[in-house]
Amino acid sequence: MSPLEIGIIGMGNVGSGVAKILTNQSEMLERRAGRPIHIRKATVRDLGRDRGVTLPDGVLTVSIDEVVNDPEIALVVQLIGGIELARDIMLRCLKAGKNVVTANKALLCEHSEEIFATAKANNCCVAYEAAVAGGIPIIDVVGESLASNQLLSIEAILNGTSNFILTEMFNRDASYDEILQEAQQLGYAEADPTFDIDGTDAAQKLVLLTQLAWGTTVSLDDFPRQGIDTLELADLKYARELGYKVKLLATSRMVDGQLEMHVQPTLIKADRPLANIDGAFNAVSLLGDAVGRTWYCGPGAGQMPTASAVVSDIIDMALGRTQITFPKLEIWSESGADVVPKNEITSRFYLRFQVEDRPHVFADIADILGQHEISLASIIQHEAPELDATGEGGYPVVPLVVMTHRTQLGKLLAADEALSKLDALREPRVRLLVADQ
Amino acid sequence: MSPLEIGIIGMGNVGSGVAKILTNQSEMLERRAGRPIHIRKATVRDLGRDRGVTLPDGVLTVSIDEVVNDPEIALVVQLIGGIELARDIMLRCLKAGKNVVTANKALLCEHSEEIFATAKANNCCVAYEAAVAGGIPIIDVVGESLASNQLLSIEAILNGTSNFILTEMFNRDASYDEILQEAQQLGYAEADPTFDIDGTDAAQKLVLLTQLAWGTTVSLDDFPRQGIDTLELADLKYARELGYKVKLLATSRMVDGQLEMHVQPTLIKADRPLANIDGAFNAVSLLGDAVGRTWYCGPGAGQMPTASAVVSDIIDMALGRTQITFPKLEIWSESGADVVPKNEITSRFYLRFQVEDRPHVFADIADILGQHEISLASIIQHEAPELDATGEGGYPVVPLVVMTHRTQLGKLLAADEALSKLDALREPRVRLLVADQ
């Protein structure tokens, strides 16, 4: 059968990994894809750089146009990051009748409607296994393997950097800043790690999974998002004392026909599988109406895991599987469930207050929470651990940790407003979610 | 598009579950499968029994011929167990040009060559997601999603009954017999649980995964298999003391171009993911040359998880995805790797001896092991726990637990032969594998 001619746009880390697999495993891939996969062009910024893989003369080019305008290229592997240029290339490829494989979650999160519509109008497909959870084939699982199920919830650890930092903070009794710095030195965190640690990266991936599972097009503004950048070691320890571990959890779940979504540092019971995913791994827990709960775990980033996902997409395109699957995905649904407004999200919550250790403080807090119909499940107050920390009246400032029963986020936010006026409360007031199970 | 007309052979537990999903989710399935899925015939033994799902008049039949001979039926869901009748039906369906979805692992394990060849000769497909690991879509993952990888190893917990029993024995400090009886009462174990607890069921599933990953057709006699039926609570406890948990692990891994396979109670380091899979769950750890290690976990049996896998196969058939995938699977490889002879399997081992607590016994054992080039990594001998147990010479009999360094099974078997002649050793001599990581 004739080779599948592909163009790779962006021969960075992942692009080089893709080229390595295609080059080193060409025989196996030809067998599995039913035809040779041939890299016709690959764009680079610098022709001279060593990428750990040798491509035939004339393949490397600095010109994106050489890929987009080459009529022989049927499939473009689009691996450049960012939004605007990537969007432009994506749309040009699709309009030129080329299928596209991409790992760009930010682009798809922001412009999926336009991109998918353009693909449809031009009889093309877009595949994006590598955009979510790295080497875990979670797009395949949600879009194909569990198609027999109506999914009921997705709970996932989707940012390896955050999970690495949380794991190390806890295991080594270290502060967020200390571990972040180390992670940057080791290459586990980007020089600018903002989107990893503020929850944006996980939220983008959650948007893609949610769209695939329920056909709902969600924007990042539609649901609350909090990263690990405000977490303190103290909270990881109190959580443990209560029998939980803290993970940056991305959650989408059906509640009465609506979608409850959030990305939040979340307490998970210590014996649950997701609580025990340590280090830079990703993990996804899916609840399906027929299958029940299944879990998927693996490397969420990195050159070869991501390249593995890209090459799987290429094989699916070469075989024509994607061409069958893509038009049947839930992304085309016109009746996706609505997203629950932020204030109506219900959960149990972990609250930590820094309070002056003087009479009636706890009564004041409990009174305000009670007025807002928030009932308390458990409380930790230790003897003053920081003897130097004193409030204005000379009282020591101590942490007070409260676990609530299930309540609405809106009630908690209203209570927080009232609590902020209490003289005896100091910053920060910490609020974390508690997972149901 | 015209409906896909299917026949279900065997409306037992799983068959009824399949009918439930197809009936209750018909709209969703039509959207995802691109066409309606219509149960044309379903065979039962007893027309009167309530199955928790109502099918239109005329669908239920006691006649298998009515399914096999119906030219309108394009796909047969073959859900009866056992070998001979199931094989006969399978071959008749394929020869009649019908695709087949099955959950019958024993049949495929024994007759896959004949069945796959017959399918090919008749331009038909066989799908068997439900035959391995229940609701975990592991056939999809190995056959499609990780097609970009050369798999290097499969390590899996593939029998939920065994895992349930091991978990309960350990957690509740109870004997094998006690828990087995309870599992049977609760319906977690069959009335005749032989194939679950002796490792046969897990080995059959391993054979199917191995064939799919490496194209090697293996028979059950080609590799060692041991179940949990000979395990004692004491060994679970000693393992824990050494930092391990014991699981019934099914392993296939590439070693120097050959396949090392075994199903054995295996010590796994307590902090590893597979060690923490408790209860009736299944879990599969895959090592791929590009992706690295990924894990998949979920319900390994049960009506709806298994039905979920069957219906996913039906959707793939309805869409034509299986028709693309099936001919490209590694099952057609004619150069599958050889299986390492039993004696050449290498591993670390856990050994427990019941020894008379008298002078020079340990020296004798260590001497024999040393003569066979087996070196010891750690040793546990507690003070005599069973004061009543005495040997012939009036000495108390005590357990001696040894962990070896990596060695060949053949050397260990030769050593065991020599050890069996030591007067001071009593039965049993326990030998378990220790997983590498």
The residues, any chain, with a CB within 8 Å of residue B414's CB and separated by 6 or more, are B372
- What integer pLDDT is reported at residue B409 of this predicted model? 96
* CATH classification at residue A88: 3.40.50.720
Q: How far is A307 from chain B (nearest CA, A)?
A: 8
Domain membership flag for residue B408 = yes
- In a shared domain, residues A163 and A283: yes
pLDDT, residue B389, reads 55
Span of A106-115, A181-190, B216-225, B353-362 with lowest mean pLDDT: A181-190
DSSP secondary structure letters along A151-203? EEEEEEE--HHHHHHHHHHHHHT--HHHHHHHHHHHTSS-SS-HHHHTSHHHH
Predicted pLDDT of residue B408: 97
Complex confidence, ipTM: 0.95
Nearest CA in chain B to A140: B145
**Of A89, A109, A127, which residue constitutes the final position of a domain?**
A127
Among residues A350, A349, A348, the alpha carbon closest in space to that of A406 is found at A348
Secondary structure (3-state) at B428: strand
Is the CB of A147 less than 8 angstroms away from the CB of B32? yes
Cβ(B241)–Cβ(B352) below 8 Å: no
pLDDT at A48: 85
Chain B within 8 Å of A301 (Cβ-Cβ)?
A: no
- Edge-to-edge strands, sheet with B37-43: B60-61, B37-43, B4-9, B75-78, B99-102, B126-127
Contact B21 A305 (CB under 8 A): no
Exposed/middle/buried for A422, CB within 10 Å: 0-12, 13-18, 19+?
middle
Among B76, B92, B127, give the residue marking a domain's end: B127
Average pLDDT over residues B101-105: 97
State the Cα–Cα distance between residues A300 and A282, nearest whole angstrom.
5
**Percentage of residues in chain B with pLDDT exceeding 70?**
98
Residue B395: band (very low, low, confident or very high) from pLDDT cuts 50, 70, 90: confident
CB contact under 8 A, B294 and A297: yes
Residue A41 has phi, psi (to 5 degrees) of -145, 150
Structural domain count, chain A: 3
Residue A340 contacts residue A107 (beta carbons within 8 Å): no
Chain A hits for B307, CB-CB cut-off 8 Å, are 148, 290
pTM for this one? Answer: 0.96
| Residue A53 pLDDT grade (very low, low, confident, very high; cuts 50, 70, 90) | very high
Q: For position B437, what pLDDT does the model report?
A: 72
DSSP state string for B172-221 = HT--HHHHHHHHHHHTSS-SS-HHHHTSHHHHHHHHHHHHHHH-----GG
Share the mean pLDDT of chain B. 94
CATH number, domain of B170, equals 3.30.360.10
3-state secondary structure of A244: strand
Do A40 and A116 lie in one domain? The reply is yes
Catalytic annotation present for A205: yes
- Is there a domain that residue B373 lies in? yes
Nearest 5 degrees, angle CA B222-CA B224-CA B228? 140
- Strand, helix or coil for residue A110: helix
- Does B329 fall in a domain? no
| Distance, CA of B210 to CA of B261 (rounded, Å) | 9
Whether pLDDT at B393 is above 80 = no
In a domain, B84, yes or no: yes
Task: Using a CB–CB cutoff of 8 Å, tell me whether A33 touches chain B.
Answer: yes
B230-289 pLDDT, tens digit each: 899 999 999 999 999 999 999 999 999 999 999 999 999 998 989 999 999 999 999 999
Closest CA to A205 of A145, A159, A260, A264: A159
- Residue in chain A closest to B277 (alpha carbons) equals A273
User: What residue type is B194 in one-letter code?
Assistant: T
Helices (H), B96-199: 105-121, 138-140, 160-172, 176-186, 194-197
Contact assessment for residue A397 and residue A229, using Cβ atoms and an 8 Å cutoff:
no
The answer to whether residue B391 scores a pLDDT higher than 60 is: no
Query: B158 with B14, same domain?
Result: no
Percent of chain A with pLDDT over 90: 85
Q: How far is CA A166 from CA A116, A184, A276, A316, in A?
A: 36, 14, 12, 36
Q: What's B370's domain CATH number? A: 3.30.70.260
Q: Do B321 and A316 touch (CB under 8 A)?
A: no
The per-residue pLDDT for range A220-239, each reduced to its tens digit, is: 999 999 999 989 999 999 99
Mean pLDDT of A12-37: 97
A120 and A234 share a domain?
Answer: no
User: In Å, how far is A55's CA from the nearest CA of chain B?
Assistant: 19
The closest alpha carbon to B102, from B309, B334, B382, belongs to: B309
Q: What is the pLDDT of residue B358?
A: 85
| Distance in angstroms (rounded) separating the CA atoms of residues B271 and B236 | 15
Question: Is B294 within 8 Å of A17 when comparing Cβ atoms?
Answer: no
Q: Are A299 and A12 in contact (CB under 8 A)?
A: no
**Taking CB atoms and an 8 Å cutoff, what residues of chain B touch A21?**
148, 290
Query: Euclidean distance between the first and final Cα of chain A, in Å?
Result: 51
Query: In b/e form, how buried is each residue of A76-104, taking b as 16+ CB within 10 angstroms?
Result: bbbbbeeeeebbebbbbbbebebbbbbbb
A275, A174: one domain = yes
Evaluate whether A279 touches A167 at the Cβ level (below 8 Å).
yes
| A144 closest CB neighbour out of B140, B149, B305 | B140
Closest chain B C-alpha to A350 CA, distance in angstroms: 26
Does one domain contain both A111 and A162?
Answer: no
Are B146 and B259 in a shared domain? yes
pLDDT band at B387 (very low <50, low <70, confident <90, very high): low
Q: What is the pLDDT of residue A219?
A: 94
pLDDT in the model for residue B132 = 98
Other CB atoms within 10 A of residue A67 CB: 25
**Amino acid, res. A397:** V
Best CA proximity match to B204, nearest among B255, B135, B128? B128
Give per-residue pLDDT as tens, A74-123.
999 999 999 999 999 999 999 999 999 999 999 999 999 999 999 999 99
pLDDT tens-digit map of A354-407: 999 888 888 999 999 999 999 999 998 877 655 555 555 678 889 999 999 999
- Tell me, yes or no, whether A181 and A254 share the same domain: yes
Say yes or no: A234 contacts chain B, CB-CB below 8 A. Answer: no
Lowest mean pLDDT segment, chosen from A165-179, A372-386, B243-257, B346-360: A372-386
Q: With bands split at pLDDT 50, 70 and 90, how would you rate the model's confidence at B385?
A: low
Interface list for A 325-344 with B (CB within 8 A): 325, 328, 330, 333
Mean pLDDT across A16-41: 97
Chain A (64-103) residues lying within 8 Å, Cβ to Cβ, of chain B? none
Average pLDDT of chain A, as a whole number: 94
Domain boundary among A263, A279, A298: A298
Mean pLDDT of B67-77: 98
Structural domain of A207: 157-298
Of B355, B375, B351, the closest CA to residue B422 belongs to: B355
pLDDT computed for residue A390 by the predictor: 57
Residues of B in contact with A149 (CB under 8 A): 308
- My answer on whether B290 and B220 are in the same domain is yes
Which pLDDT belongs to residue B308? Answer: 98
The pair of structure tokens assigned to B239 is 């393992």
The minimum CA-CA distance between B31 and chain A, rounded to whole Å, is 7
Closest alpha carbon within chain A to B297? A295
Residue B173: inside a domain: yes
- Choosing from A205, A245, A247, A411, the catalytic residue is A205
CB distance A208 to A128 below 8 Å? yes
Residue reference for tokens 């001071």: B424
Within a domain: residue A9? yes
**Length reported for chain A:** 437
> Which residues from B are below 8 Å from A28, CB to CB?
150
pLDDT in the model for residue A336: 79
Residues of B with a catalytic annotation lie at 205
| B319/A305 CB distance under 8 A | no
Q: Which residue has the higher pLDDT, B198 or B51?
A: B198
Q: How far apart are CA A204 and CA A208, in angstroms?
A: 7
B119 and B165 co-located in one domain:
no
Would you tell me how many other CB atoms lie within 10 Å of the CB of residue B305?
A: 26
Instruction: Over range B173-199, report the average pLDDT.
Output: 89
Residues B120 and B163 in one domain: no
Q: Are residues A181 and A293 both part of a single domain?
A: yes
Element (H, E) at B308: helix B303-319
User: Is A51 a member of any domain?
Assistant: yes
In sequence order, the β-bridge partners of residue B379 are B402
Residue A219 maps to a domain: yes
Q: Do the bridges between strand A258-269 and strand A425-434 make them parallel or antiparallel, or are there none, so unpaired?
A: parallel
